[in-house]
Structures are given as structure tokens and as C-alpha cells.
């Protein structure tokens, strides 16, 4: 993982609730703010269960605002505790933050753009929409959410974008027809999607079905949920004499294994790199794959699981972590 | 799992940020010379950051001394051998193979403090190994297993290559053979290496990456060998690559092909040809290393023509790696603010690096190591290295 950026102190300049369960936080770094590319995020050093950890948040808006970076944090009940830490920060509090960096940068020069945001996935899209609007590029922003009061930035965006913003509020009966929307996009157009796993999976499937170029679909890994709500499960480690480890609802399988002394390899912790894979020997219930490493076919086979993000649901799972050596 | 809107969890104490470490453990054996290289003459070589002068004594035993005269630090390699002793080429001070001074010019006595450091050596598996760490721990049983290189069941030969890259880049290279497809396309590479799945396993001091390619076309290097053994061309083969890493830097790769359908994946390799690519890499500096390799085979053992042809062929293949690895090191040096990204294919290399890190952490925690290091008046560099290792240990969560 790229952790090259160094952390430096920042002060909370303001906090404000911008939607139900969504808080916007302005961070004023000790060193000067700098312009950042579209799709950029910040890493914030947090403390979860008394342990240091890092959480990443997309920057809201195309540019820093009067010397501060803006992030928006959603309160998620099944969180591992990062959002709770950040949301508890009050004006004047100090945190350590990284320099902004982007893995989700807007590529200019395409004939048309489609931006799709689901829920809090709107955060990186605000800056992208501002940039495209400013440069007069053809684009549309499709913004889906459960209820209107849970969707931040709607009025600002609609003022800026007019008809280019389309809202799909499921509580109001408006469904996003992903296949049809993709069909409307220029053949060489580009799609950026950020949102829950279900949305991303649906977009990917539709994109493939229409045989569009893979590199024209950009998504931000956003392991904020799977097909199932997380629940506690037991994992049996076959190559450690069948040692059993309980994975609590708010822990990852990787963390639970490591806490119990099972040596694992990992890197990205986002379900991207594939290094924390474990071989699935058997399972009852369902595997909730939340990674982007396995193909749809591999997921269906059910023989490999990415322990950093994916979970078992409704049963237990037996895995092989590849340890070959004396027990203990 | 949810974390507000951003990328989830990465955990400061968990990030294996090992790719920036350019150092190496010291309490281990490093190959310092091929057996044929070491003669009754002085050979200068830097091993693990230590500048050494090496030679064979008259009974054939190898010796390795610090390559700086106690008196005025003249490299002893610029001097000459007097029997089993080394005479400095400047003022004539003489040292025996244990580094004790035995002659000083224009005086009747010898200053009892006059000595240069002598390094433990052992000759095994056709290599002369040197121990640059705590000499009290230099157990010959810890020499990495490369027995195939000196075994009547196997025949072959190899070479030493000097590489302008850190030794870990070579470990990476050998632990992930998908690069054969792209670097060695004309000889051993084929698409299926980069396509078929592989298995990574790990133990306390070792890591293994196994890959079987069943029912594939044999690449030129292997079709040639299969024909040498069987006397006829073979269309389809089962090919294997089983990479065995032994920390810190030895890699023995079990490779071969057998005609498809003759049972090699099930364990019967009798119809095929089997080889071992034996590799051990010795750090020289942060950005250079000595790469010792050999290729041995298990068929037509007495055919010297085959030994030479394969050695020269493999030499050409490794020449391609030399270019890539040198360029990669320059890429790293040119981008000091950047780090590696890791892919699934890097699993074996990641385990290798973790095991190397663990060795360094272990020896940093070993009081005997500190004592030995104190006694031998470590240069500043050594102190820095130990501190870095402790910090890394904390970050890695290794206790």
C-alpha cells in the first residue's frame, strides 16, 4: 500500500451536519493546504479500541475552502469505530492527517462522462462534477439514496448542475435504471462510480454486458458493506490444527485471525491486492465477498476468500492460510 | 467494515512497509565466492557491507579477513600471500588467517593489539560462505541447503553475477516467476506462467510458491532438454516450478517438464526432466549484490556438453534479469518518494521479506549481538541499522 505520505497535525475548523447522519468537517492543516487532483482523499490517524489506525475520507469539492480541507463522514452502525472517532471531533480539536492523494482521478478528453453516486459515495463526485462543469464537458451526475434527508449536498449540486443532476430517491419510488443509463452514454464515454458494493457490482455487470471497454469504468473501492449485514462467525484454521477463531460483528476476519496469532500476509486492506487470500476448505451458510480482486466466476466457485473485507454469514467457515510448519 | 465514506482501515502498526528497507541480517552465512574462484591468492570482495580479503590456505581451507591493515588501513588485498599469511603491501605488516599480526617492521616485538578482524568461513555446496555477524553464532549447520550443487545425483554448473540492485530485488524476482513470460519470452517464458494459479505456503524460516502448468507446449529451453533425454520431440508437457525460499536470500527452484499424461503432477516424474535452479544472493551494498547461481539436472549426468550448453543458456537468460533489475533499482532511486504496490503475485516475495525482517528483528533483540557489535566497534552505519530495525519491528507488530 502506498503510505508514502507523511502525517502532520491539522485543526478542526468547523463541524456541521449536512444530512441526517452525515457530518461535514473542515480540517485546517498546520502546513499550508495544497490543491489536489479530483477524486483525492485524506488519511486521518484515528484511535479505535485504543489502537492507532488510519481511515481515508474523500475530499469534498474541487479545491480546498479558505485554507481547509473538507470531508463528510457518515455514521454507520456497523463501523469498526473510525467514523465514530472522526465524528466525535469538535471544533478546535487536533488530528494527524496525510497529504491528499488520488487513486480516482478524472481523466480529461473523453466525449462524455457519467458519474454515479450511491449515498455517501457522493463525496468524491462533488469535486468531479465541479471540474467537469467548469471545463464545459458533457456529463451527468446520477445520485441515488434511500431518503432525501440522508443525501448531503443535494441543493448545492442542483444549483450548480441544474438538469445534469438526477436524483434517485428510493423512498420516493425513483429507481436508478443502470443498464439504460449506461446505454445512453457515448460509446467511448467514461463512467465513475462510488457507492455501496451492490451498486458497484450492478454497474460492473451492466458495463460488461454491454461489452464496453473495461478501462472506461472507474470505481473507488468502498468496502462499506456486502450483500449481507455483518454478523459474528467462527473460522476454523485447518493448517493450524483446526484452531477456531471467532470473528466479531465489528472485526474483520484478517484482524481476528491475527489477534489470535495466525500469521497472515496482507497489504491494501481494501480487498484489492489479493494478498490476504485464504483458501476456503468448507463452509455452511454464505460467503459475503466484499473484495474487488476475485472475478464473478471465482466468487461463484467459493474456493477463495479475501480475509481483509469479506465475511461468512449464517454459518461457519474452514480455511487454509498456507502455513506449513510445526504447530504452535 | 464501514468507515464513513472512505477507504477502509489501514492500520499504522500493521503496514508491512518493508520494501524501503535496504539492509540485511548479519547472523547468517552469505556465499562469498564460488569454490573455483578462491585460490591461493588474494581476492577482494565486499560481503554484507564488509570489505574482505579472502584466500585459500595451503591446506585448501578458506580464510577471510577485514580488508584494511591495522596500521594505516591499506587494503590488504593490495599486498601478497606469504604462505598462509597476508603481508601488507605498504609497510609489510603480516597477519595470519586468524587476523593476528605476526610481523611488524623495524621492531623486535609486536604490538599485542595489532589484529584485523577474521570472519568465520565454511565451504559447502560448492560455495565459500562467510559469517559477518556475531562469530559466536556461526554454526556451519546453518548454511542454506543447496546440496543439489554437490550431489552425485545431479550435474550442472553456474556462475556469479554482480548486480547493481539491492539483494531483495533479486529475491522478489525469483519468488515470482510470472516475470519469465515477459522478460524471458524466447527461452523459458510462456503465457501460461502468468495465467495458471499458484500456491503460496510459508513456515518459520521458509516460503514456497508452487505452480503446475498441465498440458502446455514446452518452451524452447525445456523442449530441447526433453529431447536430449528422450531422443525425440514431445508435443505437450506438464511443467512445474516449485520455488523454495530459505531466509534470508537462498532460493532453490525445483523445475522441470514431463510428457503430459505420464503422471508427473501425481508424483511420477520418471518420464520427464528435472532441474534445480540454485540461487543465493549476497548483499554487497544497499544497492548492489553478488548473485550466485547454478543449474543442475538429473539426466545424462556425465555429458559435459549439456552442462556447458545449459550453463551458457541460463547465463543468457539471467543476463535479461540483470538488465531489468538494474533498471528497477534506478527507478527506485529516481523516485525516493514512491513506494511499491503489491499484487497477488507478490505473495511469495512478501513472505520472504517478512522472514528477512524477522531475522533482523531477532538479531537486534539478541544481547549477544549487541555485545559482539560493541566489541567490534561498529561503524555508524551499523548503529543506524539496528535502530531502524527496532522501529520496523514496532511497526510490523513483531515482538
CATH number, residue A288:
3.10.20.30
pLDDT at A268: 83
Task: Confirm whether A72 is domain-assigned.
Answer: yes
> Does A122 lie in the same domain as A211?
yes
> Does A133 lie in the same domain as A79?
no
CA torsion through residues A239, B208, B206, A305, sign: negative
With beta carbons less than 8 A apart as the criterion, state whether A239 and A212 touch.
Answer: no
pLDDT in tens, B192-236: 888 888 999 999 999 999 999 999 999 999 999 999 999 999 999
With beta carbons less than 8 A apart as the criterion, state whether B196 and B213 touch.
Answer: yes
Query: Chain B contact for A327, CB < 8 A?
Result: no
Q: Which domain holds residue A143?
A: 113-219
Nearest residue on chain B to A22, alpha-carbon basis? B4
Integer Cα distance of B356 and B200 in angstroms: 17
- B384 vs B321, which has greater pLDDT? B321
pLDDT at B181: 87
Integer Cα distance of B244 and B208 in angstroms: 5
Edge-first strand order for the sheet with A277-283 is A243-247, A233-237, A317-320, A277-283, A304-306
> Does A92 lie in the same domain as A57?
yes
Q: How many domains, chain A?
A: 3
A to B CB pairs, distance under 8 Å? 162
pLDDT at B21: 43
Residue A280 scores a pLDDT above 70: yes
pLDDT at A132: 94
pLDDT in tens, B334-385: 998 888 888 999 999 999 999 998 998 888 766 655 544 444 433 333 333 3
Residue A50 scores a pLDDT above 80: no
Q: A17, A53, A238, A255: best mutation site toward chain B, by most B Cβ within 10 Å? A: A53
Answer whether B10 sits within 8 Å of A43, measured CB to CB: yes
Reduce the DSSP state of residue B349 to 3 states and report it. Answer: helix
Task: Confirm whether A192 is domain-assigned.
Answer: yes
CATH of the domain at A202: 3.40.50.80
CATH topology for B29-141 is Rieske Iron-sulfur Protein (2.102.10)
Q: How many CA atoms lie within 13 A of A20 on its CB side?
A: 7
pLDDT at A219: 86
pLDDT at B373: 45
> For cell 469539492, what's the residue?
A61
Query: Chain B contact for A4, CB < 8 A?
Result: yes
| B278 band by pLDDT with thresholds 50, 70 and 90 | very high
In chain B, the percentage of residues whose pLDDT exceeds 90 is 72
pLDDT in tens, A105-143: 888 889 999 999 999 999 999 999 999 999 899 999 999
Integer Cα distance of A95 and A116 in angstroms: 31
Residue B4 scores a pLDDT above 60: no
Return the domain boundaries, chain B. Answer: 29-141, 145-350, 365-399
Residue A4 scores a pLDDT above 70: no
Residues 41-100 of A with CB under 8 A from B: 41, 43, 45, 51-58, 71-76, 78-80, 82-83, 86-87
pLDDT at B362: 83
Nearest to A41 by CA among A24, A61, A14: A61
Nearest C-alpha of chain B: how many angstroms from A57?
Answer: 4
> Does A173 lie in the same domain as A118?
yes
Pick the CATH number of B145-350 from 1.10.274.10, 3.90.380.10, 3.40.50.720, 3.40.50.300: 3.90.380.10
Instruction: Compute the average pLDDT of residues A21-30.
Output: 94
Mean pLDDT of chain A: 90
Nearest to B250 by CA among B149, B336, B329: B149
- A250 vs B397, which has greater pLDDT? A250
Q: How many CA atoms lie within 13 A of A4 on its CB side?
A: 13
> Does A268 lie in the same domain as A316?
yes
Task: Confirm whether A164 is domain-assigned.
Answer: yes
Q: Which residues of A touch B17 (CB under 8 A)?
A: 3
pLDDT in tens, B283-299: 999 999 999 999 999 99
> Does A97 lie in the same domain as A53?
yes
pLDDT at B367: 60
Edge-first strand order for the sheet with A190-194 is A165-169, A139-145, A113-118, A190-194, A217-219
In chain B, the percentage of residues whose pLDDT exceeds 70 is 86
Nearest C-alpha of chain A: how many angstroms from B288?
Answer: 24
Query: Chain B contact for A197, CB < 8 A?
Result: no
Task: Confirm whether A271 is domain-assigned.
Answer: yes
User: Which range has highest mean pLDDT (A93-107, A149-163, B102-116)?
Assistant: A149-163
Q: Which residues of A touch B209 (CB under 8 A)?
A: none
pLDDT in tens, B16-57: 344 444 489 999 999 999 999 999 999 999 999 999 999 999
Task: Confirm whether A298 is domain-assigned.
Answer: yes
pLDDT at B7: 31
Contacts of B359 (CB under 8 A, 6+ apart): B25, B27, B28, B247, B248
Query: Chain B contact for A6, CB < 8 A?
Result: no
With beta carbons less than 8 A apart as the criterion, state whether B367 and B25 touch.
Answer: no
Answer whether B9 sits within 8 Å of A57, measured CB to CB: no
> Does A198 lie in the same domain as A238?
no
- A12 vs B5, which has greater pLDDT? A12
pLDDT at A122: 95
pLDDT at B368: 54
Query: For chain A, how are helix, strand and coil distributed in percent, rounded to 5?
Result: 25, 35, 45
Task: Confirm whether A240 is domain-assigned.
Answer: yes
Mean pLDDT of chain B: 87
pLDDT in tens, A67-101: 999 999 988 765 667 788 888 899 999 999 988 98
pTM for the predicted model, two decimal places: 0.79
pLDDT at B397: 46
Amino acid at each position: 500500500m502506498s503510505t508514502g505520505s507523511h502525517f502532520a497535525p491539522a485543526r478542526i475548523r468547523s463541524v456541521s451536519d449536512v444530512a441526517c447522519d452525515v457530518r461535514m468537517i473542515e480540517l485546517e492543516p498546520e502546513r499550508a493546504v495544497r490543491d489536489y487532483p479530483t477524486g483525492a482523499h485524506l488519511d486521518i490517524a484515528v484511535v479505535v479500541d485504543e489502537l492507532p489506525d488510519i481511515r481515508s475520507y474523500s475530499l469534498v469539492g474541487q479545491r480546498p475552502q479558505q485554507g481547509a480541507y473538507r470531508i463528510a463522514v457518515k455514521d454507520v452502525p456497523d463501523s469498526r469505530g473510525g467514523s465514530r472517532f472522526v465524528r466525535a471531533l469538535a471544533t478546535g480539536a487536533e488530528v494527524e492527517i496525510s497529504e491528499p492523494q488520488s487513486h480516482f482521478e478524472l481523466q480529461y478528453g473523453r466525449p462524455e462522462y457519467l458519474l454515479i453516486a450511491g449515498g455517501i459515495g457522493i463525496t468524491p463526485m462533488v469535486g468531479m462534477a465541479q471540474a467537469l462543469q467548469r471545463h464545459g464537458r458533457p456529463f451527468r451526475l446520477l445520485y441515488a439514496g434511500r431518503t432525501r434527508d440522508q443525501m448531503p449536498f443535494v441543493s448545492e449540486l442542483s444549483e450548480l448542475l441544474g438538469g445534469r443532476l438526477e436524483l434517485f430517491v428510493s423512498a420516493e419510488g425513483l429507481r436508478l435504471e443502470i443498464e439504460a443509463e449506461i446505454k445512453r452514454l457515448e460509446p467511448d464515454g467514461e463512467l465513475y462510480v462510488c457507492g455501496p458494493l451492490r451498486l458497484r457490482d450492478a454497474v460492473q455487470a451492466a458495463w460488461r454486458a454491454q461489452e464496453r471497454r473495461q478501462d472506461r469504468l472507474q470505481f473507488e473501492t468502498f468496502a462499506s458493506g456486502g450483500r449481507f449485514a455483518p454478523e459474528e462467525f467462527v473460522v476454523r484454521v485447518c493448517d493450524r490444527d483446526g484452531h477456531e477463531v471467532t470473528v466479531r460483528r465489528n472485526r474483520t476476519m484478517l484482524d481476528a485471525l491475527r489477534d489470535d496469532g495466525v500469521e497472515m500476509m496482507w497489504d491494501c486492506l481494501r480487498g484489492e491486492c489479493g494478498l490476504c487470500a485464504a483458501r476456503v476448505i468448507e463452509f455452511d451458510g454464505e460467503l459475503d465477498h466484499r473484495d474487488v480482486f476475485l472475478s464473478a466466476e471465482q466468487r461463484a466457485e467459493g474456493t477463495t476468500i479475501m480475509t481483509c473485507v469479506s465475511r461468512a454469514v449464517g454459518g461457519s467457515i474452514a480455511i487454509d492460510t498456507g502455513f506449513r510448519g510445526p504447530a504452535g | 467494515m464501514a468507515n464513513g465514506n472512505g477507504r477502509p482501515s489501514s492500520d499504522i502498526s500493521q503496514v508491512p512497509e518493508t520494501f524501503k528497507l535496504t539492509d540485511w541480517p548479519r547472523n547468517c552465512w552469505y556465499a562469498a565466492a564460488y569454490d573455483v574462484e578462491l585460490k591461493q591468492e588474494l581476492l577482494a570482495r565486499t560481503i554484507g557491507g564488509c570489505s574482505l580479503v579472502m584466500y585459500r590456505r595451503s591446506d585448501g581451507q578458506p580464510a577471510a579477513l577485514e580488508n584494511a591493515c591495522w596500521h594505516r588501513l591499506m587494503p590488504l588485498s593490495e599486498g601478497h600471500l606469504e604462505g598462509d599469511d597476508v603481508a601488507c603491501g605498504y609497510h609489510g605488516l603480516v597477519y595470519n588467517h586468524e587476523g593476528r599480526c605476526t610481523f611488524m617492521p623495524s621492531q623486535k616485538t609486536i604490538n599485542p593489539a595489532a589484529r584485523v578482524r577474521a570472519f568465520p568461513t565454511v565451504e559447502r555446496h560448492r560455495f565459500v560462505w562467510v559469517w559477518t555477524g556475531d562469530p559466536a553464532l556461526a554454526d556451519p549447520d546453518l548454511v542454506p541447503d543447496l546440496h543439489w550443487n554437490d550431489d552425485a545425483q545431479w550435474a550442472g554448473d553456474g556462475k556469479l553475477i554482480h548486480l547493481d540492485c539491492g539483494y531483495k530485488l533479486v529475491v522478489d524476482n525469483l519468488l515470482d516467476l510470472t516475470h519469465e513470460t515477459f522478460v524471458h519470452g524466447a527461452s523459458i517464458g510462456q503465457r501460461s506462467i502468468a495465467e495458471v494459479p499458484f500456491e503460496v505456503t510459508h513456515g518459520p524460516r521458509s516460503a514456497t510458491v508452487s505452480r503446475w502448468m498441465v498440458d502446455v507446449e514446452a518452451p524452447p529451453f525445456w523442449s530441447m532438454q526433453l529431447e536430449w533425454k528422450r531422443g525425440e520431440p514431445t508435443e505437450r508437457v506438464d511443467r512445474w516450478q516449485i520455488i523454495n525460499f530459505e531466509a534470508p536470500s537462498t532460493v532453490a527452484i525445483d523445475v522441470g517438464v514431463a510428457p503430459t499424461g505420464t503422471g508427473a503432477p501425481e508424483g511420477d516424474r520418471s518420464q520427464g526432466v528435472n532441474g534445480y535452479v540454485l540461487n543465493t544472493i549476497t548483499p554487497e551494498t544497499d544497492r548492489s549484490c553478488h548473485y550466485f547461481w547454478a543449474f543442475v539436472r538429473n539426466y545424462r549426468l556425465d555429458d559435459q556438453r549439456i552442462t556447458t550448453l545449459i550453463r551458457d543458456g541460463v547465463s543468457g537468460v539471467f543476463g535479461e534479469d540483470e538488465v531489468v533489475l538494474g533498471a528497477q533499482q534506478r527507478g527506485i532511486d529516481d523516485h525516493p518518494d514512491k513506494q511499491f504496490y503489491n499484487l497477488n503475485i507478490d505473495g511469495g516475495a512478501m513472505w520472504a521479506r517478512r522472514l528477512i525482517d524477522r531475522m533482523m528483528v531477532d538479531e537486534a533483540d539478541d544481547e549477544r549481538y549487541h555485545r559482539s557489535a560493541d566489541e567490534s566497534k561498529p561503524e555508524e552505519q551499523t548503529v543506524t541499522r539496528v535502530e531502524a530495525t527496532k522501529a520496523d519491528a514496532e511497526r510490523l507488530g513483531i515482538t
